[in-house]
Structure 1
Amino acid sequence: MLLAILRATLFLPWCLALPVPPTTDLKGWEFVKDYFHRFFMTKKDSPLLTQGEQLRFLQQFFRLNVTGLLDKQTLAVLHQPRCGVPDVASYSVFPESLKWNEHILTYRIINYPYGLKRSTVKGIVRAAVSIWSSVTPLVFEEVENQDANIRMSFWTLDHGDGLPFDGPGGVLGHAFLPYSTRPGVIHFDKDEYWSSSYKGVNLFLVATHELGHALGLYHSGNPNSIMYPTYEYQDPLTFHLSLEDIQRIQDLYGRK
């Protein structure tokens, strides 16, 4: 069923803009193939999809010119730092029905990244949870030294959950949906240069994204959504959720 859904998307109308000149870099094609199998469908689940179909699907998901040509624009998008949660859930036949059944949620910061004070991290996380509570009835309470609904921590490389990190510049973090195998768990790659500004990777933006997953949201193909899988800096002081983000989270938890 999932393979049929992915194949069906390949016959939707394509953008008619002229493509960026293609590259014949074999390493580039290998990267695309590995990217597709890592974030969309495993080799076992997609034995019949051709290389061109995989590339067109990626181009459509990221709202690029769907040409089937491996151009520089496509490679640039696929090389951006991103969330490690697979994107294929956006095309799942199952509705976004996983959510917390309570409106008061506790959260805990288990450990901290290099280079940021504990007080700074706490303030960043407090701002991130307020983004979601500002448009829903959700109330977030920080706890110390006890279990919590949402648990945030920083790890390097293989850290025991089957989703190893890859060092600076690759996967920034990942999270588990409510009532999944590790409900509410959020992991950040400790090897990233985390910051509260435009330098390195802004922790507020990534934390807001991963909190979206922990609350029950999958990725969005809308570049204006905080749930878009790749990272792009925005000023935290002027940041706001897109209309799509608000609609999706309110579909789960209702309005403020």
Structure 2
Amino acid sequence: MEGVLAVKTVMVVVIAAHCGAVPATTPSQEDLSKAQDYLSQFFSDVGVSAPNSIWRSSLDSFEDTLRKMQEYFGLEVTGQLDSNTLEVMARPRCGFTDVARYSHFDGRPKWGKPVVTYRITNYTPDLRQSDVDATLAKALKLYSDVIPLDFRQIYSGTADIMIIFKARDHGDFSPFDGKSGVLAHAFSPGEGNGGDTHFDEDEVWTLTSAGTNLFLVAAHEFGHALGLAHSQVQTALMYPTYQYVTTEGYALPDDDRRGVQAIYGVRVKPAQPEPNPQPTKKPVPKPQPRPEPDPGPTSEPFPDRCNRNLIFDAATSSQSNIYFFKDGYFWRRSSSWDGISMNRIQTVWPGISKVDAAYEYKNTILFEGDHYWGIRGRTVLPGYPKPLSDFGFPPSVTKVDAAVHVSFIGRTLLFVRNKYWSYNERRGRMDGGYPKFIHRALPGIGYRVDAAFENGGYLYFSYGSRQTEYHYQRRKVRRILLNYGWLDCN
């Protein structure tokens, strides 16, 4: 299939070379076959136009091809599978044959129009649809910033670039293979399925370093959809192996920019308008529409606990249960496995209409806006609500996004926008050196936290519908989940 790409995790295969030093162990036929498959897919002579073609070689040509692979990646050229070569083979990568510097597909296909349309027909539940739209638009803007080509999203009909999130067999004769294998693939420019880009729904798509970063994978695949093949420059977006880099302020690297400009040319910036141009005609004010009458309050629908895109307002463990708050309601997951119960917040704790953050330390603390309550069971404790300033926040903090008590250090982590504070419960004051940036001090969970709680020795941080299971002592992500999975949904 011409022009199909795949970002692929390759199994580590340990074998010895046929010639030269005596191998420590004789490779099995299975190991040899796996090594030949790797080299045939990425370093055979058939070229990028047939990435899935079958290639067989003798051991001598295997050794020659291995030398070519080692030279390509800047390794010591030995013709033997040493540890450094195996490490490179094990990296996640794209499935096209490798080339030097930027390169193009055979025949240099391109879009012969100034505006290329794209349409997303199937979204991932891992992210909000609006976040997917914004992320893919941002990935395409990397290219439209440097070439005279614009991209326009459409919502019906057939676009030039059709985009889907699907698992396994999805109708293009190149099925995905489950989690952590092939991440995505795309077609080179052309009629029919030319430019179409497919993402594997079995992956956990994120906007951070955890899971699979949608922006980086999309930007790479869109490079193929515009006619770029692979680059040997390790800092290039089109380098074969996938690796996370910070996406904040990311711009198209020079090698990729030169490659795509060789196809489409350079975008010329429009001339700056004259300062304060004088209108040639006095504008006539448009008549203002008459205000519509206030229809009055309407009943709010119950939040759907089994929505894969469920976003929590807050969450906390309390008396061996877990509470999840959403739009004036809460669900209680009981440790006694008697199902999920749902209640309106005000019917249980009068005076509290919405919960922004919550945690348990001796009593349960619920935050709403610039104040908080202490509760015990179904009772609001006397003396509440109290102002946020009691915690020692500066006046600029008027809302807490999330909170969680870390029992083994006696601290409560309080999240506000992209930073967090550490509150010493025993001393009743904030620790020095705070606030800290979330993404730096708690690597892997992202830049913001909507809800947080502790369970079974792990901390759980939610942002959007995605949730990170976190080992706090090691500062390490254990796995990525979806919020709704806690609420007994099939």
Q: TM-score, normalised by structure 2?
A: 0.44
Q: In the alignment, is the contact (CA less than 8 A) between 1:23 and 1:70 conserved in 2?
A: no
Match of 1:73 in 2: 84
Moved over 6 A (4+): 89-94
Match of 2:137 in 1: 126
CA distance in 1, matches of 2:100, 2:169: 26
2:141 equivalent to 1:141: no
Q: In the alignment, is the contact (CA less than 8 A) between 1:151 and 1:185 conserved in 2?
A: yes
Output one character per residue of 1:168-215: Cα deviation in whole Å (capped at 9) or x when no partner: 222211111012762011111111111000101100000000000000
CA distance in 2, matches of 1:110, 1:62: 38
Match of 2:329 in 1: none
Task: Within 5 Å, give how 1:84-163 maps onto structure 2.
Answer: 84=95, 86-87=96-97, 97-163=108-174
In terms of mean alpha carbon deviation, does 57-66 or 183-192 score higher?
57-66
Output one character per residue of 1:89-138: Cα deviation in whole Å (capped at 9) or x when no partner: 77999756210001211111111123111111111101100001111111
CA distance in 2, matches of 1:97, 1:67: 34
Task: Within 5 Å, give how 1:164-179 maps onto structure 2.
Answer: 164-179=175-190
CA distance in 2, matches of 1:89, 1:158: 29
Q: TM-score, normalised by structure 1?
A: 0.81
Give 1:252's aligned amino acid.
Answer: I
Q: In the alignment, is the contact (CA less than 8 A) between 2:231 and 2:240 conserved in 1?
A: yes
**Structure 2 CA distance for partners of 1:150 and 1:169, relative to 1, 3 Å:** same
Measure how far apart 1:226 and its partner are: 0.5
Q: How many residues align?
A: 234
CA distance in 2, matches of 1:220, 1:44: 23
Match of 1:34 in 2: 37
CA distance in 1, matches of 2:125, 2:191: 29
Larger radius of gyration: 2
Identity %: 41
RMSD (Å) for aligned C-alpha atoms? 2.6
Any idea what SS the aligned residue of 1:171 has? coil
Q: In the alignment, is the contact (CA less than 8 A) between 2:230 and 2:238 conserved in 1?
A: yes
Q: Which has the higher helix share?
A: 1
Measure how far apart 1:74 and its partner are: 1.9
Give 1:246's aligned amino acid.
Answer: R
| Unpaired segments ≥5 residues, structure 1 | 1-21
Any idea what SS the aligned residue of 1:50 has? helix
**Structure 2 CA distance for partners of 1:93 and 1:53, relative to 1, 3 Å:** farther
Measure how far apart 1:31 and its partner are: 2.8
Any idea what SS the aligned residue of 1:222 has? coil
CA distance in 1, matches of 2:53, 2:62: 12
CA distance in 2, matches of 1:73, 1:180: 42
2:201 equivalent to 1:198: no
